[in-house]
């Protein structure tokens, strides 16, 4: 039962997060999912490793905000 709620919760996070992500953000997430390092991803995208790190920080911050909103909605 908990697994179902986790899936629903994750789906809601992605649904709310998706509009805020651009093409490079998605490429970074895909690269990480495929096991590439930030440096490898940066080279593939033609950006610096710190730029990849900054984008990941932005994605994490947005996800945390969304998680907080969902938590508040559930309470």
Token code pair at residue 63: 């996800």
Q: For position 7, what pLDDT does the model report? A: 83
Q: For position 33, what pLDDT does the model report? A: 97
pTM given for the model: 0.82
Q: For position 30, what pLDDT does the model report? A: 97
For domain 22-74, give the CATH number.
1.10.10
Calculate mean pLDDT across residues 35-64: 97
Q: For position 8, what pLDDT does the model report? A: 80
In the numeric block, the tokens 């940066």 are attached to 42
Q: Over the stretch 3-44, which tens digit does the pLDDT of each residue have?
A: 777 788 788 888 999 999 999 999 999 999 999 999 999 999
């Amino acid at each position: 039962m908990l697994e179902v709620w986790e899936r629903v919760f994750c789906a809601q996070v992605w649904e709310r997060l998706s509009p805020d992500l651009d093409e490079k953000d998605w490429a970074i997430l895909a690269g990480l999912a495929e096991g590439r390092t930030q440096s490898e991803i940066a080279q593939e995208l033609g950006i610096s490793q710190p730029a990849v790190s900054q984008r990941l920080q932005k994605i994490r911050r947005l996800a945390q905000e969304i998680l907080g909103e969902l938590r508040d909605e559930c309470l």
